[in-house]
Structure 1
Amino acid sequence: MLYYLYEMNHAAIAPWRAAADAANLFWKNPVNPIAQTYMGRSVAASLDLFERVTRRYGKPSFGITEIPVDGVTVSIAEERILHKTFCTLVHFSKRWPAEKAPVKQPKLLIVAPMSGHYATLLRGTVAAMLPHADVYITDWVDARQVPLRYGSFDLDDYIDYVIEMLELLGPDVHVMAVCQPSVPVLAAVSVMAKRQKPKQPRSMILMGGPVDTRRNPTVVNRLAVARGVDWFRKNAIVNVPFPHPGYMRDVYPGFLQLTGFMTMNLDRHMDAHRELFWHLVEGDGDAAEKQTEFYDEYLSVMDLTAEFYLQTVEKVFVNHELPRGLFRHRDEKVDPSAITKTALMTIEGERDDISGVGQTEAAHDLCSGLQPDKKQHLLQKGVGHYGVFNGSRFRGDAVPRIVDFMRKHA
């Protein structure tokens, strides 16, 4: 019923959106003498904000067309090299200029979080790593777009996907997990090590992930423990409504996840939109564009399959199965101590309010089979969750250390 109410609200507000768009044509028309007045700009800014907060945001594009590599501008083409039901593996292929010999770079698989946002949330991460690596990324599919006849997708399937991609790209591949996938990526590498797979990754970079949420628990962690998985099953799982392709599929809807993210820092988001309004009124296009670009991405959300979401809540946030040695993949015990070949780097943000300090670093204790020279930890000072994998501090501080770590263990 909740999803139907959400769709009905969008349908009910559609005429008002159309009216706002029509009014904006009047208030922004250059031949309108009132358009350049303070009142005209204020009305136009109000209409713009109304359009933005009521818009249904679709999947953004990566939009990376070129990148500088050693002073040379290299064209980038997106290639989809592996198609799975719930994920596509995207390769950012470099097209080197004729006068420049291609530079061999290490392969890097970035596993994007499947936590409500699209993989394009890591656009900045991809752009920062492209000058230094041959980059691939997991592009997860919106569950409401997958017909029910294609079956389910759970945490075991997620781990299988990661293993398949590592074996496709290996053995000279490095893997980076951003936030949520830190646990399934660590599990996937552990399974590969235990099975003595020949294409184990050279290194594994875990960034702001909930490896052990018992350490320095955040509001998110405490909520999961307090509510329990049954509460989430009853209150957060809904059916996809008609006419979406995934009609009748049980999902955790993206709009619920977004609501949770927004309410955690509601004052900050309200201040940001208040600032956006005044930027529009004052004609500060650069500042307004910077904010709209961020929210175009932040407000674009996707649905997760119910089985994947509930298993993640239960295994990672409620039962803490991986750090307690209870995590199993298809009835096979996951043992991170079996990892001896894949070097481990963990990165955390000092002000991360999603994955607390120490939760990702816990992976070092679990990977007890690794020699000390194969382990490295970085705590980024003054950085929140988003800054762990994006922004100027990530580019200036974390990226050089990640690149050095990959080279050291190439």
Structure 2
Amino acid sequence: MLYQAYQFQSDLMSPLRLMAQHLGASLWLDKTERSLVRRISAANEVISRMRLTHARPAYGITSVTVRGEEVPVTQETVLSEPFGTLLHFRKAHTGGEPHPPVLLVAPLSGHFATLLRETARTLLQDHDVYITDWHNARDVPLRKGAFALDDYIDHMIRFLAAIGPGAHVVAVCQPCVAALAATAIMAEDDHPAQPLSLTLMAGPVDCRVNPTAVNTLAIGKPIEWFEKNLISHVPLPHAGFMRRVYPGFVQLTAFMSMNPERHKQAFRHMYEHLVEGEVEQARTIQNFYDEYLAVNDLPAEFYLETVEKVFQTFDLARGVLSYRGRTVNPAAIRRTALFTVEGERDDICSVGQTVAAHDLCPSIRPYLKTHHVQTGVGHYGVFSGKKWNQQIYPRVREVIHASMG
């Protein structure tokens, strides 16, 4: 009933938001004074922005600067599966040595892979970038079957095989567990496409370490509670009708409830910027919330297994994580360089949880292991913003390029 109630409310509010959108756009904005008309227009613009969307926003990466030259970028589908696409940001050839291929592994946690837009754009300067473009589960017909943690690992292995030998992996947040597991499976099988380097950024490898409020919430209830209270069936008219999902709007509500004042203040600032005619400042906030309020439903099987195995029973960290009936053995990883990154102020995946990967991989030689704690950043600052671009990314690039030989 939860999803049906949400859908009913969304349908009910849609005409109001549409009216506010048209009214905000059509009203004349006085450029020289704070007129009543401008206030009304700004209020309508804010109202129209306070909505959830369920389609992936555009990546908007059309060019990148390579060796001081602006190079066109196009998107191409390399491999398409019902629940995800391997997307390639193809750069026009500029001569010189080819850039190393990198698979950017995006979280499947309520938002679309476009949340890593800036991460991908930065990586494109020196790398040939692919991304795991996860689909909205509510748009996947029931006949396509289930999608669980094993399927996520399967996708990573298939995607790396499609890219071919010599690729590198950069996993952000939630998929660090699956990325480490996939690398271990490929190493144990001596798969030719096992990655040359594995970068894990702000991921919950061992949530027993320095637990956050997110970790405490996960262990506060049995998994049956999560299934009973947070899983819903997709309603009509969506293609995934009757599929069991963890709705993206539930995840977003949980995230926003962690710091509601910050979001209230952001929308207040958007209104004030519009009233003052500060269009660029308002657009920065609008762009963020266009992305943040685009929600992606998770397949129920994947969500429940992630909560249980990653956040409740810590299977990978305890050495009991299974994949297709086999125990995942990170000690099988020998030739892949390992780089872990954590944010000093990360309140979602705290310091210590990602670096735990090093202890799980004793067969990787010490000189192939690197760790970095970035001061002054929270969770999102690990993969976006000034410190990502200026301090973290150079370390990532160094690890990738050093492990190419």
Could you tell me the TM-score, scaled by structure 1's length? 0.96
**Residue correspondence of structure 1 range 330-341 to structure 2 within 5 A:** 330-341=324-335
Residues 112 and 296, structure 2, Cα contact 8 Å, conserved in 1: yes
**Residue correspondence of structure 1 range 318-397 to structure 2 within 5 A:** 318-397=312-391
Quote the residue 2:28 is aligned against.
Answer: 29
Quote the residue 2:72 is aligned against.
Answer: 75
Amino acid of the residue matched to residue 91 of structure 1?
A: H
**Displacement after TM superposition at 1:72 (Å):** 1.1
Please say if 1:8 is aligned against 2:8: yes
Find the residue that maps to 1:323 and give its secondary structure.
helix
1:105-147 Cα offsets, whole Å, 9 max, x none, are: 1010001101111010000000110011000000001000000
**Residue correspondence of structure 1 range 15-54 to structure 2 within 5 A:** 15-24=15-24, 28-29=27-28, 37-54=34-51
Quote the residue 1:219 is aligned against.
Answer: 213
Amino acid of the residue matched to residue 281 of structure 1?
A: V
For residue 258 of structure 1, the aligned residue among 252, 262, 286 is 252
* Partner Cα separation in structure 1 for residue 267 and residue 341 of structure 2: 31
Amino acid of the residue matched to residue 379 of structure 1?
A: V
* Partner Cα separation in structure 1 for residue 269 and residue 31 of structure 2: 23
Quote the residue 1:285 is aligned against.
Answer: 279
* Partner Cα separation in structure 2 for residue 342 and residue 22 of structure 1: 54
Quote the residue 1:135 is aligned against.
Answer: 129
Residues 170 and 201, structure 1, Cα contact 8 Å, conserved in 2: no
Unaligned stretches of 5+ residues in structure 2: none
1:7-52 Cα offsets, whole Å, 9 max, x none, are: 11111112322432454355x226xx89954322211111111111
Size of the aligned set, in residue pairs, is 404
**Displacement after TM superposition at 1:152 (Å):** 0.5
Amino acid of the residue matched to residue 360 of structure 2?
A: L
**Residue correspondence of structure 1 range 157-168 to structure 2 within 5 A:** 157-168=151-162
**Residue correspondence of structure 1 range 110-189 to structure 2 within 5 A:** 110-189=104-183
- The RMSD of aligned alpha carbons is 1.5
Amino acid of the residue matched to residue 111 of structure 2?
A: H
Residues 83 and 89, structure 1, Cα contact 8 Å, conserved in 2: yes
Residues 52 and 294, structure 2, Cα contact 8 Å, conserved in 1: no
* Partner Cα separation in structure 2 for residue 403 and residue 320 of structure 1: 30
Moved more, 159-168 or 379-388: 159-168
Residues 64 and 71, structure 2, Cα contact 8 Å, conserved in 1: yes
Please say if 1:86 is aligned against 2:70: no
Amino acid of the residue matched to residue 7 of structure 1?
A: Q
* Partner Cα separation in structure 1 for residue 33 and residue 121 of structure 2: 38
For residue 64 of structure 1, the aligned residue among 61, 72, 87 is 61
* Partner Cα separation in structure 1 for residue 335 and residue 288 of structure 2: 38
* Partner Cα separation in structure 2 for residue 269 and residue 73 of structure 1: 36
Q: Is the alpha carbon distance of 1:67 and 1:316 closer, same or farther for their aligned partners in structure 2, counting shifts above 3 Å?
A: same
Please say if 1:403 is aligned against 2:400: no
For residue 273 of structure 1, the aligned residue among 247, 267, 277 is 267
**Residue correspondence of structure 1 range 242-257 to structure 2 within 5 A:** 242-257=236-251
Identity %: 48
Amino acid of the residue matched to residue 72 of structure 2?
A: S
Residues 34 and 276, structure 2, Cα contact 8 Å, conserved in 1: no
Find the residue that maps to 1:212 and give its secondary structure.
coil
Find the residue that maps to 1:7 and give its secondary structure.
helix
* Partner Cα separation in structure 2 for residue 333 and residue 57 of structure 1: 36
Find the residue that maps to 1:29 and give its secondary structure.
coil
Quote the residue 1:235 is aligned against.
Answer: 229
* Partner Cα separation in structure 2 for residue 286 and residue 152 of structure 1: 43
Residues 181 and 209, structure 1, Cα contact 8 Å, conserved in 2: yes
**Displacement after TM superposition at 1:56 (Å):** 3.3
Moved more, 133-142 or 266-275: 266-275
Find the residue that maps to 2:316 and give its secondary structure.
coil
Find the residue that maps to 2:318 and give its secondary structure.
coil
Amino acid of the residue matched to residue 87 of structure 2?
A: V
Find the residue that maps to 1:59 and give its secondary structure.
coil
**Displacement after TM superposition at 1:206 (Å):** 0.2
Quote the residue 1:315 is aligned against.
Answer: 309
Find the residue that maps to 1:227 and give its secondary structure.
coil
Residues 52 and 295, structure 2, Cα contact 8 Å, conserved in 1: no
**Displacement after TM superposition at 1:401 (Å):** 0.8
Find the residue that maps to 1:289 and give its secondary structure.
helix
* Partner Cα separation in structure 2 for residue 25 and residue 168 of structure 1: 45
1:158-185 Cα offsets, whole Å, 9 max, x none, are: 1011011112223211001000100001
Unaligned stretches of 5+ residues in structure 1: none
Residues 64 and 127, structure 1, Cα contact 8 Å, conserved in 2: yes
Amino acid of the residue matched to residue 274 of structure 1?
A: R
